[in-house]
Amino acid sequence: MRGGMSPDLDSEPQVAFRQRKKRKEINMKQNKLVILGAVAMGFGVCQANANFTTVNSGIIDGHLYDVVTTGDNSVITWEAAEAQAANMGGTLASITDSAENTAVYNLITSSSLGNSATVWFGGENPSGPSPFYVWSWANGATWSYAPWATAENQPDAAEGYPDYTVFWSGGGSNWGDAGDSWGTGAGNAHSFVVEVVPEPATMVASAMLLLPFGISTLRILRRSRMA
């Protein structure tokens, strides 16, 4: 872990506090994404992409995590993965403590991907010059935990900026960083982790109103965010 980062908090009350804080921080952005995605789904604008396959799912601290891969193992950019996460009613996963990190990594390795794929999640560093202090989560959660693979000199911004977080093939549960080339012809990133949380009661009512536009809309809303 790089200097200046908060240490991982292990006590149960502290972990519970961080989980509540994380939910609060992502609430506004998550609800906006869900509403926009649901409306688009209802009118047939955002159809399920047959080129994406969910290879494993799990509930961690009340949040749903989907491990998703391109159906033909074609590479995908971080930005395209984040767009698909929004279509699914969520965002690329933010990981804010060691227990969550282990659980998410286990979802990946227990799927058909094993440990042989580069997998995007939600950390981003949009600009330089240093990769060590400008990282943030796409869903607005506080950046306070980052188990970089320092033995492999991660993060190193070798692919330039913008820069994003990955679990990479053979890298274990520590993190690496990768640039756009990993999601284009020169790279090998074809998978990503989506985080979705249950919705508040008001969103359930909205889902019922959207039922005429398709069951897929209700599914998106049902998997949105907890109050």
pLDDT of the residue at 48: 38
Nearest alpha carbon to residue 53 among 191, 174, 227, 166: 191
Q: Identify the CA nearest to 191 among candidates 101, 63, 98, 93.
A: 93
Q: Which of 40-44, 79-83, 198-202, 216-220 has the highest mean pLDDT?
A: 79-83
**How far, in Å, CA of 115 to CA of 27, rounded?**
32
Residue listed under structure tokens 């799912």: 57
In angstroms, rounded to a whole number, what is the distance separating the alpha carbons of residues 157 and 131?
A: 6
The more confident residue out of 131 and 140 is: 140
In which region does residue 62 sit, left (phi positive, over 0), alpha (psi from -120 to 50) or beta (all else)? Answer: left
Query: pLDDT class for 120, splitting at 50, 70, 90?
Result: very high
> CATH number of the domain at 12-222, please?
3.10.100.10
pLDDT in tens, 141-153: 999 999 999 888 8
Model pLDDT, residue 174: 94
**CA end-to-end span of the chain:** 32
Give me the pLDDT at residue 19, please. Answer: 61
Distance set, CA 138 to CA 61, 104, 142, 143, 217 (Å): 19, 17, 10, 10, 23
- Considering only 21-25, 54-58, 183-187, 210-214, which range has the smallest mean pLDDT? 210-214
**pLDDT computed for residue 225 by the predictor:** 43
The domain spans of the chain are 12-222
How many other CB atoms sit within 10 Å of the CB of residue 174? Answer: 18
Each residue's pLDDT tens digit, 168-214: 887 789 999 988 777 776 678 899 999 997 765 434 444 444 444 44
Query: What single letter denotes the amino acid at residue 102?
Result: T
Q: What is the mean pLDDT of the chain?
A: 74
Interval 14-18 mean pLDDT? 60
* Rounded distance between C-alpha atoms, residue 65 and residue 184, angstroms: 25
The pLDDT of residue 130:
55
Question: Does residue 221 surpass a pLDDT of 80?
Answer: no
